[in-house]
Amino acid sequence: DAKTTQPTSMDCAEGRAANLPCNHSTISGNEYVYWYRQIHSQGPQYIIHGLKNNETNEMASLIITEDRKSSTLILPHATLRDTAVYYCIVTRRPGGGADGLTFGKGTHLIIQP
Amino acid sequence: NAGVTQTPKFRVLKTGQSMTLLCAQDMNHEYMYWYRQDPGMGLRLIHYSVGEGTTAKGEVPDGYNVSRLKKQNFLLGLESAAPSQTSVYFCASRDIPNTEAFFGQGTRLTVV
């Protein structure tokens, strides 16, 4: 699975859009991009995933560049409850395959009031 | 619908003691996982199971054993606890073909 690079931490003002970048320059054509988040040492929570097209759900939007070497997770109207560590994961196996996903250190997003 | 439930939520062990962590899911999921998370680190996979009666080693299996006698339960055992096993343990489950993993709330274990 391709490696990912994320900023260690980011700040965002409450009510603004939070844009979390992820670099995956070695991604191959059949690898998925997954995003999970972990709020204050709770269990991680699935947010969204995509392969080639941009995706949107009730929580967030995922924008994948045309060359697929990077992506951005967008939380459209960040609230204080969105303060969490956000993990970007790339895997060729849907859901990470039998042995699941590999979690790195992620980005600590802090929403400022 | 409880989802994934971990028992206990907190535990303090003395070095050399044994214990079992229980993970129960009520979603009829096939796959179950045990992870550990140390301060400032991501999650590391300890063991996993692809169905009742099956188990497999993950990234950091040493010092742990697991069993999946019933589909809804996945047990993680520490036979002789060591301070290096002080960590937060997370259980997760997911189904086929659903790709979303559901996590429990974690068990905070301290070995003194």
Residues of A in contact with B92 (CB under 8 A): 43-44, 100
Cα–Cα distance between B23 and A92 in angstroms, integer? 28
Cα–Cα distance between B72 and B76 in angstroms, integer? 14
Residues of B in contact with A42 (CB under 8 A): 103, 105-106
**Closest B-chain CA to A32:** B99
What stretches in chain A show pLDDT beneath 50? none
At residue B2, the pLDDT reads: 73
Q: Mean pLDDT across the stretch B15-34?
A: 96
Q: What is the pLDDT of residues B52-90, one digit of tens each?
A: 999 999 999 999 999 999 999 999 999 999 999 999 999
At residue A96, the pLDDT reads: 64
Cα–Cα distance between A37 and A3 in angstroms, integer? 18
Cα–Cα distance between B92 and B58 in angstroms, integer? 13
At residue B78, the pLDDT reads: 97
Q: What is the pLDDT of residues A79-111, one digit of tens each?
A: 999 999 999 998 877 666 666 788 888 999 999
At residue A41, the pLDDT reads: 76
Q: What is the pLDDT of residues B90-105, one digit of tens each?
A: 999 988 755 788 999 9
Select the residue of B41, B98, B101 nearest A101 (Cβ to Cβ).
B101
Select the residue of B40, B48, B104 nearest A100 (Cβ to Cβ).
B48
* Separation in Å, CA of A84 to nearest CA in chain B: 13
**Closest A-chain CA to B93:** A100
Tokens 């849907």 correspond to A94
At residue A31, the pLDDT reads: 86
Select the residue of B40, B98, B101 nearest A100 (Cβ to Cβ).
B101
Q: Mean pLDDT across the stretch B29-47?
A: 91
Contact A103 B4 (CB under 8 A): no
